[in-house]
Amino acid sequence: MKPTPHGPSCLGSFNTLAQSGTDKMAIIQGNGSDLANAKALQGRSKRKLISQSLMLSMVDSCMKYGTPEMKKAYWNTYHCQNRIITANGRIYGKYCKNRHCTLCCANRKADIINRYLPVISQWPEPYFVTLTIKAVPHRRLRDVMQNITEEFRQIVETYRKRHQRGKGQKLMGIRSLESNFNPQRRTYNPHFHVIVANKEMADILVKEWFERSNPGWTYRKAQKAERVYDNQRAIIEVVKYGSKIFTEPDVNKKAQAKGKEVMYVKALSNIFAAMKGLRIFDRFGFNLPKAEVKRQDARVVTDYQDWHYDMAKYDWINDKGERLSDYTPGASLLWLLGERVDVQLE
């Protein structure tokens, strides 16, 4: 994959100006995304459909279970990229930038991959490490997430200081905090996915993680360290961003769960709430090289098209009634979104 310009500027945003008569004008910023990339466009449509339908359930859940403080954020995400414009073969949108937004997360993932892949590709033997802890009920989730984030920070800090004193190597890598929901046990499993630069770092992490945890909270065998051979795939694994949207009802029978997944809205909402203010993705022990690509400055366009999202048509529509992506969801996705939504279980 060829690195492309990155940072928030790669998203491509716009603002329309007051219009008089037939003159119209918009200010665009950033590079936008390629209108000719049909696959990416269909992916965007699919994410928009999933996101919008999830947000309606999230708002519903907020009202039912008394977490109104999240309601506004969910509505913002519902409206994310409701309107987009196309100009000079590129797409520009308005982004909600929320963590629970599948559209914005997809952008963030692409951005992280572009920025970190060149660095990680230069590491001699990258290792993928999974650090887990015993699953907990909802009421303990936030505490545990805060604790393990602090624990991880301390491990990195200890080795950084030792390294400064000339004793051993520091730890260097990227990590993400994630949690999935187990509907059978009604528990959450906060865990880290980490890529470090070599085996020694991976072994240190696993050893420290196990030794520092309270007895019974971590199982040695559940802490994994594996050599990475496909850097891009490993990074994608790390930047899944937070949680899965569709969960197998029986986590032990993943293989048989095709088409049986459920969207556990209340549980997802709990995970997002627990992660509030915590860094989901982080790097440690190294800095990224300065971006060589200059961000595109704001500029005015007069020749552009307006598109509005129409959920009933699963697509963005212009004033002539034309569709932008021509995306049609599969029957199984529609069924999942319509029938496999649980707003109660947590």
| Binding positions for Zn ion, rule: CB under 5 A | 80, 95-96, 101, 103-104
- Minimal distance in Å, beta carbon 98 to Zn ion? 6
Among 83, 74, 84, residue whose Cα is nearest residue 51: 74
- Minimal distance in Å, beta carbon 271 to Zn ion? 17
- Minimal distance in Å, beta carbon 95 to Zn ion? 5
Position of tokens 């329309």? Answer: 16
Instruction: Please identify, using beta-carbon distances, which residue of 106 and 257 lies nearer to Zn ion.
Output: 106
Instruction: Please identify, using beta-carbon distances, which residue of 105 and 156 lies nearer to Zn ion.
Output: 105
Helix ranges restricted to H, the chain: 38-65, 71-78, 102-120, 138-164, 199-212, 231-238, 265-275, 331-339
Euclidean distance between CA atoms 330 and 261, whole angstroms: 15
- Minimal distance in Å, beta carbon 100 to Zn ion? 9
Euclidean distance between CA atoms 51 and 83, whole angstroms: 15
**DSSP of 128-183:** EEEEE---B-HHHHHHHHHHHHHHHHHHHHHHHHHHHTTSSPPP-EEEEEE--EET
- Minimal distance in Å, beta carbon 79 to Zn ion? 9
Instruction: Please identify, using beta-carbon distances, which residue of 61 and 77 lies nearer to Zn ion.
Output: 77
CA distances from residue 321 to 25, 36, 147, 267, 317 in whole angstroms, order as listed: 21, 19, 52, 38, 6
Instruction: Please identify, using beta-carbon distances, which residue of 101 and 235 lies nearer to Zn ion.
Output: 101
Instruction: Please identify, using beta-carbon distances, which residue of 80 and 337 lies nearer to Zn ion.
Output: 80
Euclidean distance between CA atoms 345 and 163, whole angstroms: 47
Start-to-end CA distance of the chain, whole Å, equals: 39
Instruction: Please identify, using beta-carbon distances, which residue of 96 and 343 lies nearer to Zn ion.
Output: 96
- Minimal distance in Å, beta carbon 86 to Zn ion? 18
Among 20, 101, 12, 82, residue whose Cα is nearest residue 306: 82
- Minimal distance in Å, beta carbon 101 to Zn ion? 3
Instruction: Please identify, using beta-carbon distances, which residue of 6 and 175 lies nearer to Zn ion.
Output: 6
